[in-house]
Amino acid sequence: MPTIRPQSLPLRALRAPSTSRSQSQFSRQIKLTPSVSPVASIPSKAQSHQFLRNHTTSSVSQDEVSHFSSLASSWWDPMGPSRILHLMNPLRHEFIASCLAESSPSTDTQASTSTSTATATATASPPANLHYLDIGCGGGIFAESLARTIPLDPSNPAPTPTRAASMTAIDPTTDLIQIAKKHARLDPTVDSHLRSGKFRYLNTTLEDVLASESESNPGSTSTSTSTSSSTSSSSVTHPQFDIVTLFEVIEHIDPKTTTYQSFLEKCLSAVKPGGWLIGSTISRTFPSFLLNQVIAEAPWPIGVVPRGTHEWSKFVNPPELHGWAQEGLMRLADGGVTRAGSGALDGMLWKCVGAVYVPGFGWKMVPGSEDWGNYFWAVRRGV
């Protein structure tokens, strides 16, 4: 599929704030009480721990939590073990912008009621009115960069390609959430969003976010049981977002407690009708084994990520991901999988493009390379 080249996001919005303190000094620093979200009711940190004790089915791998906890102190070192993630970050914004250029949650809703309104919206600068959920945010490399694009003055927002109005970022690793919060406070703009509640970090899991409303209302269901968009919206009781991001996460879930299809279905249930689930992962191929496990995890100076970061058997091929997304949307619509005559896939869009790391030049989108290495993918949920 050809990739759309949206306007570039200003580099200042993607960079961490400058500081005279060394990275090691920052590592030794490190609290924020989550504010009320402008988009949804999600458990506070204390509440999330209660959910963790009560919720037995989780996609979180404790081995992965331990591994990434060990990287917490160096997470924001642009030349450290997370260097590849820092370099990939601009491409994440670019891919999100390409999805919104193809189909925007807000403009699509308007188009369903009035063609003239949709035409007028397309010609005007789109507003910054989209609410984001970042699953598996880690130390906040992407979440913080997106929060930096949220307008300080909602009445006079400067248009940005990702059109963010709020960001909720979640991760089960306590050390990484603490690092993320502390680093976010170094930037006055981001700190302002933290204090206003437009930007939140929560030490919790996706399962607990989805359970936050449904468990408090036992008689309700957590997902829709109707293909009608109007019925769907009214029957959902858990928080939903315009954009849900899943960058470098699906290959780290625990296959002993969940399946990829089940996890993807949960992610899709957090997406509003007309919204996008956007992520990145790695194909399970022989070239990816050589590049991402043998070479990338080799000792310095060859390797670029710590040993144990990847497990080749957990990598996911694009056709698998596409199929799970289709099945997930059908299950969300009727509780089962109806291959013939189902309207659950009406309006669904699928995007996929490969990404290649070129030493000295960084990450580049390369259409066609998704079948043998890193790639970005996106699923648009029908209105």
312/310 Cα distance (integer angstroms): 6
Nearest to 198 by CA among 13, 37, 14: 37
Nearest to 236 by CA among 215, 218, 213, 254: 213
Strands (E), the chain: 130-135, 164-170, 199-202, 241-247, 271-282, 349-358, 362-365, 374-380
114/264 Cα distance (integer angstroms): 33
Q: 251 labelled as ligand-binding?
A: yes
Q: 171 labelled as ligand-binding?
A: yes
38/36 Cα distance (integer angstroms): 7
Q: Which residues contact 174 (CB under 8 A, 6 or more apart)?
A: 69, 203
**Are 242 and 162 in contact, with CB atoms under 8 Å apart?**
no
Q: 108 labelled as ligand-binding?
A: no
- SS3 label, residue 237: coil
Nearest to 209 by CA among 380, 43, 69, 378: 43
118/134 Cα distance (integer angstroms): 28
Nearest to 255 by CA among 63, 70, 68: 63
Q: 252 labelled as ligand-binding?
A: yes
170/58 Cα distance (integer angstroms): 14
Q: 94 labelled as ligand-binding?
A: no
- Backbone dihedral region of 323: left (phi > 0), alpha (psi from -120 to 50 degrees) or beta? alpha
112/85 Cα distance (integer angstroms): 38
Buried b (16+ CB within 10 A) or exposed e, 192-225: ebbeeebbbbbbbbbbbbbbbbbbeeeeeebbbe
Instruction: Report the binding-site residues for S-adenosyl-L-methionine.
Output: 92, 136, 171, 247
Annotated binding site: 92, 136, 171, 247-248, 251-252
Binding residues for Mg(2+): 248, 251-252
